[in-house]
Structure 1
Amino acid sequence: MTIKLYYEDPYIQTFSAKVIKQEQDYVVLSETAFYPTGGGQPHDTGTLNNISVTNIETIEGEIRHYLATNLPSDVGYVEGAIDWKRRFDHMQQHSGQHILSAAFDNLFGLKTVSFHLGKDSSTIDIDTSEVSGEQLQQVEDLANQIILENRTIETRWVTEEDLKDYKLRKATKVKEDIRLVLIPDFDDNACGGTHPRYTGQVGLIKILQTEKQKRMIRVEFVCGNRVISHLHRKQSIVSNLIQSLSSPEEKLEDAVKALLDNGKSFDKQMAYLKETLLQYEAKELIQNKQGRNIASTFQDRTIQELQKLAKLVTSESEESICILISENEDLLQLVAAKGKAVEQSMKQLMESILPLINGKGGGNETIAQGGGEKILSSEQLLEKALTNIHSL
């Protein structure tokens, strides 16, 4: 059985070990300082004999080290090195999770159901359907008070019988070799993860946001150095907004709200102007119609605009057939519509046109639409469409 040095001292950064098993994609060592994925905490990374360690997993009682390239077959011993920056970050986040979960439990009896330590932030799922902003603030304040007090974080190996002497925040299913992580007078928890020796080393805890997850509340948070990283990123965003909006920080919210309101007003005005323009275009098309057919080509018009324009035309000119085609990059899009006094089927007309451009479409007897490849020019396709009208 591999000796789990990461249990004994999470501050070990280098170590020597004997290779006791080497397979095609992993090795097993006599002892290791690498932490394998488990308990919501990702695996460590680092090197063995300067070869990158890409993954660590516990499988069938073995701690398997997966490497970027294989070790030479004759290697008997290896020198291991932990990526300390990643390890300490995980120590901060995991211990911060213990403190945060204990604060939810101690203050409001809210239990943590699950924990995920992510690359940029971490989350816990709380067994409740609702949590208030005031509760979140109280939890965050208590968590940071525990950090400020720099309490010891103790680890202790106990038996199942010993558990009666502790007030575990969450029951453990482990029956032997039980490892407890203890913050005196605050939190007793069974855990195999890596943790610093003092709460002060967690640095700081900041709750970022919450969201509902089925019948639970997911709490996103950051600890330690990640708080500084988030602050730097957000400060950069705020500084850019101050410059872009020419507004002091305390008035940014009002400036953004005014900008959004202006944007909504602008969108309404644009929609009105587009609708007015379509009405003028419809009148112009009707005035320039040849016989009962109204046809035209466009550049970069959406299928929705063509549909609206065709409907406006045929509502005013009930005896007409309207065919509109737009060239959009390498595509041709077209709409065919008819007025109430016309008998021909626009669906049938569209089905006769689309094969000419390897197109697809749909519609009904009154209006149909489709699109396809620009095999023909828009003018050539329009001419084909007008010819097909007479064959229906």
Structure 2
Amino acid sequence: MTTKLYYESAYLTHFEASIIKVDTDELGDYLVLNQTAFYTTGGGQPCDRGLLDDVKITLVEEVEGEIRHYVQSPLLVTGQAVHGQIDWSRRLDHMQQHAGQHILSAAFAELFGYQTVGFHLGTDEVTIDLEVPLLTIEEAEKAVRYANEIIQENRAIEVRWVSEEEANRYPLRKALSVKGDIRLVIIPEFDYNGCGGTHPKQTLEVQGLSITGWEKQRNNIRISFLCGNRVFKQFARHNQILQQLSQTLNAQYIKLPEKASSLIMKQKELDKELEQLKGDLLKYEAIKLLDSCEVVSNQSRLFIRFEDRSIKELQQLAKDVVEENDQAVVFFVSETAEKT
């Protein structure tokens, strides 16, 4: 069995190990080590990436009790000693997002009794599914404020290994899904939760949390949010967009909503004027068509093929013709030219 060094320290980025197995499965070539600091995919958290010597580790999965390190090419052999290096920026990001999820889920549970029933840590965003059919803006804002208060208080994040009997003595946020030795991640007097993920030692390392939106998913609400460095990156992107809009619209960023509303109103007025002009042109066209059409037994007949005219436009044109001459027979065809 491989020793999981990431449980000894989530901050461990370099380690020494020996290869005890080299093999291939449907996911590709993989190695099994006697010990590893590479976190495996699980519990909603993606795996670590990095290097074993100079070989890239692209995926780490626990399969049939083995921790398999998938490599781009099988350059290593059984019995070989290797030096492992974790991609720290990826690890830290996952630690911030996962700890932030615990804090946000606990905030919703404490404030409103809303339980988290799903969690996904993605490359661009993190989501939790709340077991509730509706979420208000006021509830979301209150939960975010509370979560950020917990983060700024720099509370300890503790990890404890306990038995099932011992675990039942804690006010766990949700029922445990594993048996035997249980790993609890605890923020004292706030959150008690069974978890196998990597977490920082203090809440302040999460830095901050921001909800980016939510949507209904069947009977639940799915919330998207960001933590840590992702919040700062989002702020930088939004600030850049605001600066570009301010320059384009020649308005201070604080007046952008007012400027946008004004532009939308003007655009609606222009669209209305344009539709009126189009209507006038169609009426004029209808008169001209009647002036030049074939007349049989005092009945005007218009059989015309048009190119690249919309059905809606031709329907209005036909209506205008009939309004001018209710005895007219109208047959319009619209053809769209083929483009090469």
Q: Same fold (TM over 0.5)?
A: yes
Match of residue 298 from structure 2: none
The 1:30–1:262 alpha-carbon spacing in structure 2 relative to 1, beyond 3 Å, is same
Q: 2:237 aligns with which of 233, 237, 252?
A: 233
Q: Amino acid of the residue matched to residue 310 of structure 2?
A: T
Output the CA distance in 2 between the equivalents of 1:288 and 1:270.
27
Q: 1:85 aligns with which of 75, 89, 94?
A: 89
Give the deviation of 1:143 after TM superposition.
1.4
Give the deviation of 1:83 after TM superposition.
1.1
- The alignment's TM-score, normalised by the length of structure 2, stands at 0.88
The 1:303–1:328 alpha-carbon spacing in structure 2 relative to 1, beyond 3 Å, is farther
Q: Amino acid of the residue matched to residue 283 of structure 2?
A: Q
- The alignment's TM-score, normalised by the length of structure 1, stands at 0.77
- 2:239 partner SS: helix
The 1:129–1:288 alpha-carbon spacing in structure 2 relative to 1, beyond 3 Å, is same
Query: Relative contact order (alpha carbons < 8 A, sep ≥ 6): 1 or 2 greater?
Result: 2
The 1:223–1:290 alpha-carbon spacing in structure 2 relative to 1, beyond 3 Å, is same
Whichever of the two has the greater Rg, that structure is: 1
Match of residue 12 from structure 1: 12
Cα deviation digits, residues 127-184 of structure 1 (max 9, x gap): 2223333332322222112111211111111111111321111110211121011111
* 2:333 aligned with 1:330: no
Give the deviation of 1:188 after TM superposition.
0.8
The 1:257–1:152 alpha-carbon spacing in structure 2 relative to 1, beyond 3 Å, is same
Output the CA distance in 2 between the equivalents of 1:328 and 1:33.
63
Q: Amino acid of the residue matched to residue 11 of structure 1?
A: Y
Output the CA distance in 2 between the equivalents of 1:190 and 1:101.
13
5 Å-filtered alignment, 1:137-176, equals: 137-176=141-180
Contact 1:211 1:218 in 2 (8 A): yes
Give the deviation of 1:275 after TM superposition.
2.7
Output the CA distance in 2 between the equivalents of 1:95 and 1:175.
23
* 2:62 aligned with 1:58: yes
Output the CA distance in 2 between the equivalents of 1:75 and 1:311.
86
Q: Amino acid of the residue matched to residue 269 of structure 2?
A: S
5 Å-filtered alignment, 1:207-356, equals: 207-290=211-294, 292-298=301-307, 300-310=308-318, 312-313=320-321, 316=325, 318-320=327-329, 322-330=331-339
> Displaced runs of 4+ in structure 1, greater than 6 A?
none
Output the CA distance in 2 between the equivalents of 1:116 and 1:34.
19
Q: Which moved more, 1:177-186 or 1:245-254?
A: 245-254
Match of residue 125 from structure 1: 129
Match of residue 343 from structure 1: none
Match of residue 34 from structure 1: 38
Output the CA distance in 1 between the equivalents of 2:168 and 2:42.
25
Q: Which moved more, 1:96-105 or 1:280-289?
A: 280-289
The 1:317–1:52 alpha-carbon spacing in structure 2 relative to 1, beyond 3 Å, is farther
Give the deviation of 1:323 after TM superposition.
4.2
- 1:170 partner SS: coil
- 1:253 partner SS: helix
Give the deviation of 1:87 after TM superposition.
0.7
Match of residue 21 from structure 1: 21
- 2:185 partner SS: strand
Output the CA distance in 1 between the equivalents of 2:171 and 2:262.
53
Q: How many residues align?
A: 330
Identity %: 47
Give the deviation of 1:318 after TM superposition.
4.7
Structure 2 unaligned spans of 5+: 296-300
Match of residue 192 from structure 1: 196
Contact 1:103 1:142 in 2 (8 A): yes
CA RMSD, 1 decimal: 2.3
Match of residue 388 from structure 1: none
Contact 1:301 1:328 in 2 (8 A): no
